[in-house]
Structure 1
């Protein structure tokens, strides 16, 4: 059962989440250069937060890596596709020389962030806007239903050593919510009958992204990746699930044909 004070941060969380949602939906809908700028900015800020968590004493280096990351996403979009991977890997390799500890963690997460930023922008252009809305809604539903179910129902912890607040009730609620999003999109689009279970798989990838970022924060001894977003911490805290889900979706898109989905 929920305890007193458990909902104290809800108003602030909802207000900042609503602001992010409106801006995100608008720029996803516009696509093209506008969505590319969004993915580049978010990628750069997440690189900055990652750098600050790993090396809080190297503020100027974190800013350099943030600008390099954002520029890499835009440059990779502007050049032919076979240049993308080395361009996206470059900021991570620069980070090896600028950061003196936890270099492997930085490289792994930096490359993942930049591939996701570049990949989502390219995917939007190639496959249309509907898949992006599906991705975002699955991640949001997983997070929101998991939050409320975990607070209200409680129960056994999912992985207490890594993410002490995550419960099995919240985890399963996230899967159920994702399946419902899949059912909803199947009714209003020309997507195939497999969408509900694919949505659950996407939800699991989102939760894995959340757990991975929690593991980094726990290792670095920090509560939030930054304090940029009231009630949420940093962009990395808010987009860790989206990072995991986006990488899963982009990987699947490399293995199977993804048709353009229309309402």
Structure 2
């Protein structure tokens, strides 16, 4: 019964979070920026906790991150604001890496996907591109969860994530491929969206495993307790972190 209860809690919280995220994505502009900024700031704080960063150093990183987010805001100047924001993140990380602590790297982990999503939403087909990117990750997680539970079999990475299986990964790839193709066709997105779902599912799962490694190193089960049944923000966006950054890179490079 507890398993059913946990699944119900996960479904309810996940649905509410999806509604809020979709509303922000549809609205775009300042509302999306505010939503992304809040999520990214919480993600940075969770990273700092996992890294065991000192309070003062975390506060400095959060303050610098706020400046970067302001640079990437809709009220900022020019169409290259996202590029300037990303370069600012890299400069800050380089500066903070000189000292001790790992929180500076959290700026990349939390900042890159945030700026990437804002960049994608600002494109001519921005809503469709951003929605497609997010859905690829959701479909990967959903397919992997249900196929993994139904089929079982060899573990994908027993030490990092004992519940993940190769069958689950395949299920996530199929779900992302079919769902991504459907969304790409629905919004008239570039042809690559018809097949990119499967390889991006692998990227999403890699992001998930990387966050699992961070939690294992920190000796915790979840990155936080903000989302009942899910854990913390990082537990929900771990797959989106590399996928959003990669999709934005492909779009910026004219590949997608």
| Band of TM-score, shorter chain | 0.7 to 0.9
Asked if 1:114 corresponds to 2:111, the answer is yes
Secondary structure class of the residue paired with 1:224:
coil
Counterpart in 2 of 1:221?
219
- Give the corresponding residue for 1:146: 144
Cα distance 1:6–1:189, how it changes in 2: closer, same or farther (>3 A)?
same
Specify every segment of 5 or more residues in structure 2 that has no aligned partner in the other structure, as ranges: none
What are the equivalent positions in structure 2 for 1:57-206 lying under 5 Å apart?
58-59=54-55, 61-77=57-73, 78-80=76-78, 81=80, 83-89=84-90, 92=93, 96=97, 100-101=100-101, 103=102, 106-127=103-124, 128-206=126-204
Residues 256 and 86 from structure 1, CA distance in 2 versus in 1: closer, same or farther, beyond 3 angstroms?
A: closer
Counterpart in the other structure of 2:248 = 250
Contact 2:90 2:108 in 1 (8 A): yes
Shift of 1:255: 2.3
Could you tell me how far apart the structure 2 residues matched to 1:142 and 1:175 are? 6
Return 210-219 or 4-13, whichever deviates more. 4-13
Quote the offset at 1:109 in angstroms: 4.0
Aligned to 2:33: 36
Q: How does 1:224-243 map to 2 (within 5 A)?
A: 224-243=222-241
Tell me, in whole angstroms, the C-alpha distance in 1 between the residues paired with 2:150 and 2:4: 10
How many Å apart are 1:91 and its aligned residue?
5.0
TM-score (norm 2): 0.87
Per-residue CA distance 1:9-62 (angstroms, 9 max, x = gap): 111111111111011000011111111111111111111000011116x34543
Decide which of 207, 213, 219 is 1:209's aligned counterpart: 207
- C-alpha distance in 2, partners of 1:86/1:191? 28
Give the deviation of 1:219 after TM superposition: 1.3
RMSD over aligned CA atoms reads 2.3
Shift of 1:195: 2.3
Q: Is the contact made by 2:143 and 2:175 (CA closer than 8 Å) also made in structure 1?
A: yes
Runs of at least 5 residues in structure 1 that lack an aligned partner in the other structure: 259-263
CA distance in 1, matches of 2:98, 2:14: 36
TM-fit CA distance, 1:119: 2.1
Supply the distance in 2 between the matched residues of 1:242 and 1:39 (Cα, whole angstroms): 13
